[in-house]
Structure 1
Amino acid sequence: MHPSTGSTPLRLLLLALATAAALVACQEDRADTAAPGERPGLDPDTPMPTNPAVAAGQGGDVRPVVTASDTTPAHLVDASGQALYMLHDNADGSRCDTRCEGAWPPVTTRDVQPAPGEGIQNDLLGTIQRQDSTLHVTYDGQPLYRYAADAGAGRTAGHGVEDQWGEWSLVSVHGPAVPQR
């Protein structure tokens, strides 16, 4: 038997442990230097999932949570703090097609109503039926969207964007669009 053959599994185990320790150290460094609103340990360029939510308590269903930002002017955000937008003249949701939804993911749910967070008027929160049988979350009758380019909580790069689908705005906690800056 070659002297190094018997130690190969041990070397692999030590290499795996050293790699794991290095990754943990990198994550701890990243968490210490994260800016407010960043998601430590996650790629900041990765868009948020379409449906951040909290458990509703029944059968694993989830309820999207809509809440108020802690910034001025107050606007709608999801449970993870990502800004929510409306597309002007889009009350039925038809102006934002599949290509649009790649840049502006809709806030959706299945078979459960959204939950109002702090600062939200429950009577303004609702849903409309989508063609794919999901429910599109609305506020004051306007379908809600995220902006994929926002890259996380606290970002509002979509406010005032005008594109081929129309004009996008943050949504006020009182219902109408937040005025353009």
Structure 2
Amino acid sequence: MTRSVKHQRACALAAVALVMLGAGACGDADSGDDTGPYGDATTSEASESPSEEATAEGAASLAIASDDELGDILVDNAGMVLYLFTPDTTTESTCYDQCATAWPPLLTDTADVTAGTGLDGALIGTTERTDGTTQVTYNDHPLYYYAEDSEPGDTEGQGVNDVWWVVNPAGEGVTTMS
């Protein structure tokens, strides 16, 4: 029986250590909140957002929408706002797993991405993700949705943890807050 109690204590301590390690890996000490490094769209509700449908592979297209506070910004053909992630320093995405749940990538099944009026088609590109899918880039920035943006024009992801920004037609992050 002593061995069983020691075994249970060891398992309990190991479980607590794993939980603490996991919490530390997901938190952002500088943000002052407990939403994690990707915002708070890591719940099951986030995976049910319309952005999941928008990331389904097919031909992608980009357009411009006007936001009263942020100016002209990049959206997909359904009007869903697109973001860049500043840790992506090349065309290669660094947002996977839990990050990609909160920030689904804009995917396409063709390199022929349509540029709407006012966009520079030469800035459009694609990059292969580690899972073999193809993500759309603009001005060498991989593009993402925010899972908590539920309606066209929503900009709930703007400025999350000072690393997620809507994209202007020049392909730069708009670093002002809405």
1:77 equivalent in alignment to 2:63: no
**Given residue 86 of structure 1, which amino acid in structure 2 is its aligned partner?**
L
1:151 equivalent in alignment to 2:134: no
Q: Tell me which residue corresponds to 1:140.
A: 139
1:66 equivalent in alignment to 2:68: no
Q: Give the direction of change, closer, same or farther, for the CA distance of 1:133–1:95 in structure 2 (3 Å limit).
A: closer
For 1:51 and 1:108, locate their aligned partners in 2 and report how far apart those are by CA, in whole Å: 11
Q: Tell me which residue corresponds to 2:98.
A: 99
Q: Tell me which residue corresponds to 2:169.
A: 173
Q: Which runs of 5+ in 1 are unaligned?
A: 1-44, 54-60
Query: What is the CA deviation profile of residues 96-148 of structure 1, one whole-angstrom value per residue up to 9, with x for unaligned ones?
Result: 12110100000011234211112211011110111222211000000000000
For 1:151 and 1:92, locate their aligned partners in 2 and report how far apart those are by CA, in whole Å: 26
Deviation at 1:152, TM superposition (A): 1.5
For 1:51 and 1:115, locate their aligned partners in 2 and report how far apart those are by CA, in whole Å: 18
Q: Give the direction of change, closer, same or farther, for the CA distance of 1:134–1:113 in structure 2 (3 Å limit).
A: farther
Structure 2 counterpart SS, 1:102: helix
Q: Tell me which residue corresponds to 2:5.
A: none
Match of 1:86 among 84, 87, 108: 84
Q: Percent identity?
A: 31
For 2:67 and 2:77, locate their aligned partners in 1 and report how far apart those are by CA, in whole Å: 15
**Given residue 82 of structure 2, which amino acid in structure 1 is its aligned partner?**
L
Structure 1 counterpart SS, 2:148: helix
- What's the RMSD between the two structures over aligned residues? 2.2
For 2:48 and 2:152, locate their aligned partners in 1 and report how far apart those are by CA, in whole Å: 12
For 2:94 and 2:49, locate their aligned partners in 1 and report how far apart those are by CA, in whole Å: 22
CA contact (8 A) 1:140 1:176 kept: yes
Q: Tell me which residue corresponds to 2:113.
A: 114
Larger Rg: 1
Q: Give the direction of change, closer, same or farther, for the CA distance of 1:155–1:137 in structure 2 (3 Å limit).
A: same
Q: Which runs of 5+ in 2 are unaligned?
A: 1-46
Point out 4+ residue stretches in structure 1 off by more than 6 angstroms: none
For 1:94 and 1:70, locate their aligned partners in 2 and report how far apart those are by CA, in whole Å: 26
What's the TM-score once normalised by structure 1's chain length?
A: 0.64
For 1:85 and 1:67, locate their aligned partners in 2 and report how far apart those are by CA, in whole Å: 13
Structure 2 counterpart SS, 1:169: strand
Structure 2 counterpart SS, 1:133: coil
